[in-house]
Amino acid sequence: MEQQIRVAVAGANGRMGQEVVTMLGQDKQLVYVGALDTRGEDEAIRARLEEMKPDVLVDFTTPHSVYRHLEICLQHGIRPVVGTTGLSQDEIQEMTRRFGEAGLGCIVAPNFAIGAILCMKFAAMAAKYMPHVEIIELHHDRKLDAPSGTALKTAEMIAAVREEIKQGHPEEKETIPGARGAEYEGFRIHSVRLPGMVAHQEVLFGATGQTLSIRHDSINRESFMPGVNMAIKAVMNMNGFLYGLEHLID
């Protein structure tokens, strides 16, 4: 039998955390050792970690707590698998350096659903040939951050290959501020929040006489679990920081 992996979960009572705990219970290689809540004193957190002795901390919490959780993992030599969105690019760069220096595995993935990863990759492929692009992401109305981590990652991947062009009319004017969405490297990202939605993204391309739409829909949170499972196993064999699940499936 493969070596068992002890997994703690931050945000275990949340929408994603509950799904993760169920998934851990279905895989004999993974042992759920308990929930970590970091809203108490440092001493209580240390005691809880000593009790649980996790190899991996899965984090699905909030944009406000995720950075601290990475620091706690560095202090205690625990490998994080982070789905929480909202880390800034500077924070990601800093953690890349610190986990690299520590030689400790860490995976931060804005989306664990394989279809969403493919949506990002296909969008980056298309942007090379069709540089007029806009991203629309649509989520449930309990979501804290906008744009979604997935939309930001998609935008980064598009910007890395897209020819720099000015989109839209040069004299465009917003009669209601924000009407054209957020601007990222010359193209727009739009965020929709509605009850009834889970996690959806459409990347729209336009060129003379044609359009292309690439769309992904997560219709439930189980869609993220194969990716979380894969990341927990992969992070055990890593000695640095990885941002985005696409690097694991190539």
Ligand X SMILES: O=C(O)C1=N[C@H](C(=O)O)C[C@H](O)C1
- The catalytic residues are 139, 143
CB of residue 74 vs ligand X: minimum separation in angstroms? 23
Strand-pair category, 56-59 with 5-10: parallel
Q: Considering only 4-12, 43-51, 128-136, 146-154, which stretch makes contact with ligand X by CB under 6 A?
A: 146-154
CB of residue 136 vs ligand NDP: minimum separation in angstroms? 17
177 annotated to bind ligand: no
Helices (H), the chain: 15-25, 42-52, 66-76, 89-102, 114-129, 149-159, 225-235, 246-249
Task: Please tell me whether residue 199 binds ligand X under the rule CB under 6 A.
Answer: yes
Closest CA to 228 of 72, 96, 56: 56
Rounded Cα distance between 212 and 28, Å, is 43
Q: Which of ligand X, ligand NDP, none sits in contact with 80, Cβ below 5 to 8 A by type?
A: none
CB of residue 61 vs ligand X: minimum separation in angstroms? 11
**Residue that has been written with the tokens 């991947």 in this structure:** 157
Rounded Cα distance between 247 and 243, Å, is 8
Q: Which of ligand X, ligand NDP, none sits in contact with 139, Cβ below 5 to 8 A by type?
A: ligand X
Given the complex with ligand X, which of 66 and 199 has the nearer CB atom?
199
User: Residue 102, Cβ neighbours under 10 Å: how many?
Assistant: 16
Rounded Cα distance between 34 and 48, Å, is 9
Token pair for residue 32?
A: 């759920």
Q: Total number of residues binding ligand X (CB under 6 A)?
A: 9
Residue 31-60 contact track with ligand X, rule CB under 6 A, x = bound: ------------------------------
Task: Please tell me whether residue 180 binds ligand X under the rule CB under 6 A.
Answer: no
Given the complex with ligand NDP, which of 16 and 162 has the nearer CB atom?
16
CB of residue 120 vs ligand X: minimum separation in angstroms? 10
Given the complex with ligand X, which of 144 and 207 has the nearer CB atom?
144
CB of residue 7 vs ligand NDP: minimum separation in angstroms? 15
Rounded Cα distance between 232 and 26, Å, is 14
Rounded Cα distance between 217 and 134, Å, is 17
- Pick out residues in 88-117 that bind ligand X (CB under 6 A): 110-111
Contact 5, 29 (CB under 8 A): yes
Task: Please tell me whether residue 143 binds ligand X under the rule CB under 6 A.
Answer: yes
Closest CA to 236 of 84, 74, 56, 57: 56
Q: Which residues are annotated as a binding site for NAD(+)?
A: 11-16, 83-85, 109-112
Q: Which residues bind ligand X (CB under 6 A)?
A: 85, 110-111, 139, 143, 148-150, 199
Binding residues for (S)-2,3,4,5-tetrahydrodipicolinate: 140, 149-150
